[in-house]
Chain A
C-alpha cells in the first residue's frame, strides 16, 4: 500500500518549501545589509507547515497569518517580487510599503492578512469562516499562530465560538517551543499548549510532526475536508523549531546547543529532499526546482532593490474606502 501523495503533489510540496527557504535566507541577508528595515520574523525551519497547508488549500480558501507570515503568504501564490519589495519598503510592495514584513496581505490570493497582535487574528478567522458558512461558499479559513498565542484570551474566545457554530476553520498552532525568548513550557499549565486545550472546546487533540511536510499535508487535507463538510473546526498542533532567532538578528542564544543541533538534524527541507531521492525521484528534477527558485528569488530581489520608495501620496491614502484619510470637511 502506498499512502504517499501523488508525484505532482510531492514536487509541489518540495518546491514550496524550497521557495520559503531560499526567500527567507535572502530576507535575512537583506536585513543584515540594512535593506530590510524594522523587524522581520522568518520561518526558517518551519517551512513544512506553510507548504503542507498551502498545497492542501483550495484557491479560494482564506489564510490568516502572524507577523511570521512570509511563508504563509508565498505558499498561496502571492508574487515574490511584491513580497520582497514590501519587506524593502518599496512602492511596488504588496501593500505599497504601508504594511511591511509583519502585515503581508494579498486578498487576491486568499491571504486575508498577517496580524502582529498575538492571537488577534483567531477571532477574525472565525469571522471569515462564519461568512463562508453563511454564504454557503464551501470555503475554509486556515489560521496560523504560535505556541505563545495559546495563552491569550482571543485564542480561547475564538476556539469556543468556532466550535459552537461548527465553523469551517482550521487553527494551526506552530509550536516552535519558544515565544520570543521564553520557552513555552515554562509559562504554560499543560505540556501541549494547543492540543491539551482542544478538549475544552470539544475538539480532538491533533499533534503532527511539523517538520514532515507530507504529514502536515495529510492533516491539512483531513481538517479542510471536515471543515467543508460541516464537521466544524480543527485545532492542529504542529511541532517544529526555528532555525534562527525570534526576529531580526536575534542569535537565539537562550536555546540549549543540544536542542538546536537535534532540530537542525531534522531539517524539513533537506529531509524531504532525501526522502524524495530515496523514492527514486531523479536528483535532476529537484536540482532544477532549486535552480528555478533561486533564479526567482534573485529576480525578485533585483526588482525590489531597483524599485523606488513609496510615492509620498501613499501616506494619506486608503484610510477610508474613498481612498483618502479625511476626517473633516
Chain B
C-alpha cells in the first residue's frame, strides 16, 4: 500500500499498461520530454523511449485521428487531450469518427483506444480551460466514458480502459491531481460500468462523479453529524452505467440528489433522474433534486468559480432544505 497523488497514479497506470503490452503507445502535446503540463507523464519517455511516448504538434484532430488509425490497425493508443475543453476542436474525431465507425462498418473496425483528458474546474483557469464535459461525452453513442475519483480508481479504470476493445474517454478531474489516496501494491485492474457505494444512510442518496465525489462524501459526513444519514454513490463510469447499484441505493433512501459539475442543461444527472423516475418511482418519497453548476461558462475569479461549482455547503444546504 502506498500513498499516491492522483497525478502520480496517472503515470503509474500508464506505465503498468505499457510494460504489459507492447502495443500500448502514448501520444499528446508535451507528454514526452516535458512529462505533461499537469506532470502526469514524467519518466515515461525515459522508460519506454520515443517510439512509444510521442510529443505531438498542437493538432488535436491529428492526435485523435492518428490514435484512431493506429487502433484500427493493431495498436492500443492512449491519446492525451490536454484540457477537455479542447475536445471541441476535435469533436468530429470523437463523435463522428471514433464513436461511429464500428457501427457503420458493422463491426469490421475495432477501436481499442483511450482518450485521457484533464476535466473540470477548480484551478481558476477561466471559461476555456475549466469545463466539465461529461455531458457532451455521454451523449455520444459508441463512446465509453469514465471518471475515476481516486488514485486507485484511476489506475484500475485506466487499465480497464486500455484493455477494453472499444474507445474509452477517461476524464481526469484536474482539481484532484494533487490529492493523495491509498493505492494497493501490484497490478490494478478494475471493471468499467461498476458504481461504488461509499457510505450508506437512510435519508437520502447522493450520486456524484469525479471531483464532486469527495465533496458529496464530506457533505454526507457533515449531515451525519446533524443526524441525517446519506448514501453516497460514486458512479465512476457514465457509459456503461451501473443502473442497478443506483436503483438499489435509491430504494434504500427514497430520495435522490445528483451532484454534478457539468452545466445544468442535459447534465448527466438529467439522465439519472429520468431513469429513476421511470424505474423507481414508487420508491421515491419526494422530488429528485439536481445540484449542478449553473448553466454558465465557468468564471475565472476564485470567489466566482467557488460559487459556480457545487460546494460542500451548497450540497448540505440543498439536501437539508429538501428533506425539510
Contact = CB atoms under 8 A, between A and B. Distances in A.
A157 B56 CA distance: 10
B107 A318 contact: yes
Given A154-B62, A157-B61, A329-B242, A62 B102 contact: no
Contact of A113 (B57, B67, B109, B165): B109
A95 B61 contact: no
A318 B106 CA distance: 6
A98 B93 contact: no
Contacts of B67: 127
Nearest to A161: B62
Contact of A320 (B25, B62, B64, B166): B166
Interface string A100-133: 0001011110001101010011111111111110
Interface string B58-74: 01011011111111111
A153 interface: yes
A158 interface: yes
A320 B56 CA distance: 29
Interface in B142-196: 142, 165-166, 193
Contacts of B59: 123, 157, 160-161
B244 to A, nearest CB: 5
Given A126-B65, A127-B66, A134-B25, A99 B105 contact: yes
A154 B65 CA distance: 9
A122 B73 CA distance: 15
Contacts of A2: none
A229 interface: no
Contacts of A135: 74-75
Nearest to B243: A328
Interface in A270-316: 314
A140 B61 CA distance: 21
Given A112-B109, A318-B107, A321-B102, A120 B93 contact: yes
B239 interface: yes
Given A124-B69, A327-B241, A113 B62 contact: no
Nearest to B193: A329
A95 B166 contact: no
Nearest to B60: A157
A72 to B, nearest CB: 15
Nearest to A129: B69
A317 interface: yes
Contacts of B71: 127
B16 interface: no
A112 B107 CA distance: 12
A112 B109 CA distance: 8
A130 B70 contact: yes
A125 B93 CA distance: 13
Contacts of A122: 65
A303 B92 CA distance: 36
A140 to B, nearest CB: 12
Nearest to B111: A321
A154 B240 CA distance: 30
Interface in A129-150: 129-132, 134-135, 141
Interface in B268-287: 275
B110 interface: yes
Contacts of A154: 61-62, 65, 92
B127 interface: no
B241 A328 contact: yes
A96 B66 CA distance: 27
Contacts of B61: 120, 123, 153-154, 157-158
A95 B25 contact: no
A319 interface: yes
Given A117-B97, A127-B71, A314 B106 contact: yes
Interface in B221-235: none
A70 B106 CA distance: 17
Contacts of A130: 66, 69-70, 75
24 contacts: A95-B104, A95-B105, A95-B106, A98-B105, A99-B104, A112-B69, A112-B73, A113-B101, A123-B65, A126-B65, A127-B67, A131-B69, A131-B73, A134-B51, A135-B75, A154-B61, A157-B61, A157-B62, A160-B59, A317-B106, A318-B106, A323-B107, A327-B141, A329-B193
